[in-house]
Amino acid sequence: MKQYRFAKILFSLTLVALWAAAATAAPLAKHVFIISIDGGAPYVMKDCDMPVLEKMAENGAASWEAQTIFPSVTLIAHVSMMTGVDVDKHKVTWNGHEPDKTLDVTTCFAEAKAKDENFHTAFFTGKDKLVLIDLPGSMNHTEKPYYETEDVTEAAAEYIVANKPNLTFIHFAKTDGLGHKHGWGSDEQKAGFNAVDTGLGKLWKAVEEAGIADETVFIITADHGGHKNTHGSNQPEDMTIPWVLSGKGVKKGYSIAEDVKVYDSAATALWLLDVDIPDSFDGKAITNAFDFN
Residues that bind Zn ion (CB under 5 A): 38, 74, 176, 223
Residue 101: closest CA among 145, 140, 135: 135
DSSP 230: B
Are the beta carbons of 245 and 218 closer than 8 angstroms? yes
The dihedral region occupied by 183, where left means phi > 0, alpha psi between -120 and 50, and beta the remainder, is left
Give the list of residues 6+ apart from residue 182 with CB closer than 8 angstroms, or none. 188, 189, 229
Residue nearer to Zn ion on the CB measure, 111 or 176: 176
Across 22-60, the runs of DSSP E, i.e. the strands, are: 31-37
Question: Whole-number minimum distance, CB 152 to Zn ion, in Å?
Answer: 14
Residues 30 and 167: beta-carbon distance below 8 Å: no
Which is nearer to Zn ion, 113 or 171 (by Cβ)? 171
CB of 293 to Zn ion, least distance (A): 37
Residue 22: CB minimum distance to Zn ion, A: 42
Q: Which one, 176 or 215, has the nearer CB to Zn ion?
A: 176
- Cβ proximity to Zn ion: between 115 and 180 the closer is 180
Residue 3 phi, psi (nearest 5): -60, -40
**How many angstroms separate the CA atoms of 81 and 102, rounded?**
17
Least distance to Zn ion, CB of residue 177, Å: 7
Question: Whose Cβ is closer to Zn ion: residue 105's or residue 241's?
Answer: 241
d(CA 238, CA 1): 73
Sheet of 240-247: strand order equals: 141-142, 121-124, 167-172, 31-37, 216-221, 240-247, 61-67, 254-255
**Closer residue to Zn ion (CB): 68 or 106:** 68
Tell me how far, at minimum, the Cβ of 184 lies from Zn ion, in Å.
10
119: nearest Cα among 133, 139, 105: 139
Minimum distance, C-beta of residue 104 to Zn ion, in the bound complex (Å): 22
Q: Which residue is nearest to Zn ion (CB)?
A: 74
Distance in Å, CB of 36 to Zn ion, minimum: 8
Residues 6+ apart with CB under 8 A from 14: none
